[in-house]
Amino acid sequence: MKTVEADVIIVGSGVAGALVAERLARAGIGVAVLEAGSRVDRAQALGRYFNAPIKTPESPYRATPEADFPLSADRRHWYRQSGPDTFKSTYLKAVGGTTWHWLGTCLRFLPNDFRLKSLYGQGVDWPIGYGDLEPFYLEAERELGVAGDSNEDLGSPRSGRFPLPAIAPSYLDQVFERALDGTGFAVRTTPQARNSVVHDGRPACCGSASCIPLCPVQAKYDATVHLRKAERQGAVVHESTTATAVEADANGRIAAIRFRRPDLSEGVAQGRLYVLAAHAMETPRLLLHSRSERTPAGVANRSDQVGRHLMDHPIKLSWALSGEPVWPYRGPLSTAGIENLRDGPVRASRAGLRIQIGNAGWTWGTGGALTLPRTLAESGLRGKALRNAAVDQAARHVELASLIEQLPDAGNRMVLDARDKDHYGVPLPRLRYAIGDYSRDGLAAAQGIHDRILAKLGATDIHHQPEFQGAGHIIGTCRMGEDPAHSVVDPALRCHDHDNLHILGSAVFPTSGTANPTLTIAALALRLAETMKARLQRGE
């Protein structure tokens, strides 16, 4: 049996695990990272993406029995679902985690997002406030290399400037801004972890329009950036190493994490402190599977809160033909959005929302330019008429995606499936999920707002996806709070039940807000790294 020993054992090598690993290794602390997936060869992944007949967020990456994950194109793969709604967001298992196929959006939460219950009577309040995270937001922007316009008001007060100049707005963004001038819909540059200039040894964005699922030149940040830095400082990344159980001793402290390799060989990782950073689906799955005489409901689950309060940002997707050419299908997939609908008194009765303006035309809604010629040909067009119609329509494709806030609901949860197991004998995740009336009302409001915006663009051929889409934002399941009866970790992200076990990632979010979660994940990781360094240096 293989034994891995280090001061700190981290499960998961996405942005949260990578940032903590790098910070601790830089301080001379021994770090071992356990990652279920393998390393990704960017060139090979790009080839798989180009050759994939159906291009999804997962198409460049290999889902294997040893490191399987959910697929956007097959809702029955990996997840077992009990309804009433289908959970539609996915994640990767790979060295670097889901940052391989994230969009790169780096919005902060709003100050009021931390006080949803106090201000609007909905959900719960966070046990920390915006002021507690603001310096770590700034640090996270520096670490990830966020490009943004420091002069724009996005509703989240800043104590410093963005480290990189903003990505230039697309021509499409400029058309939206002109059309919406004076309407109350404020188009703003989207902060994003994408190099606008050469930075941190990586090139500037070259506009490949494939941010999801893969940046071919690594202008977009992914967690391998900090994993490489951590490894240079002495951290060890154990790829293809799947954590299968967390073991607690008689005093309630974590004593070890058991793991298995693809050949089914077993091992144990032992440290002084432990961090679970395996995203909001795999972290509760691991904890629930860690049942023993000492932890009959699973590790950190004395309150029966592990796996509960599963959230996403349900998306209202709309697409249309603008009244004038906007020339989409170029550059980053989104460079601007409408951010002034995220907060306000309406949140007392329906969800807040943010609108992402897409540069990828109809790709999400219909397959876009790839499917357009066939659609036109099936309508009877041929020859020059077909070509002219394709050019005209492709030049006018516009898309709006509203990310809708979702409330925590204890009934929305991940449990272990009673029948199906993975390669290592761990039960697959079974989901019970409903988006709720608060979000449904937000989706309905978003559709009306989309109609008003598209009218200003003189748009025709307007379509609204009748079903909500998943944002790829898996939130909740191990939330933070002061009360151990209603949360899994305390404000310092230490498990209430086990004082040497920490949880990171969007799993700990008490509420979802409307911001893409990655920057908040990174800020919490940097905050935890400082706490852990202090604990270890005190000899705890």
Check: CB of residue 180 under 8 Å from CB of residue 139.
no
Provide the residue type at 523 as one letter. Answer: A
Q: How many CA atoms lie within 13 A of 372 on its CB side?
A: 22
d(CA 23, CA 132): 19
Check: CB of residue 515 under 8 Å from CB of residue 110.
yes
* 279 among known catalytic residues: no
Q: How many CA atoms lie within 13 A of 101 on its CB side?
A: 26
Q: Closest Cα to residue 397, out of 370, 363, 354, 374?
A: 363
d(CA 450, CA 414): 33
Catalytic residue among 473, 496, 498, 502: 473
d(CA 275, CA 127): 20
Alpha helices per DSSP H over 355-420: 363-366, 372-378, 383-394
Strands 353-358 and 336-338: antiparallel
Check: CB of residue 480 under 8 Å from CB of residue 493.
yes
Which H or E element spans position 456?
helix 436-456
Residue 54 buriedness (CB in 10 A; 0-12 / 13-18 / 19+): exposed
d(CA 489, CA 264): 32
3-state DSSP percent of the chain in helix, strand and coil, to 5: 30, 20, 50
The strand pairing partners of 338, in sequence order, are: 187, 355
Tokens of 353: 């929302």
The dihedral over CA atoms of 144, 148, 150, 153, expressed in degrees to the nearest 10, equals: -110
R_g of the chain, CA atoms, integer Å: 23
Residue 243 phi/psi, 5° resolution? -65, 130
Active site residues: 473
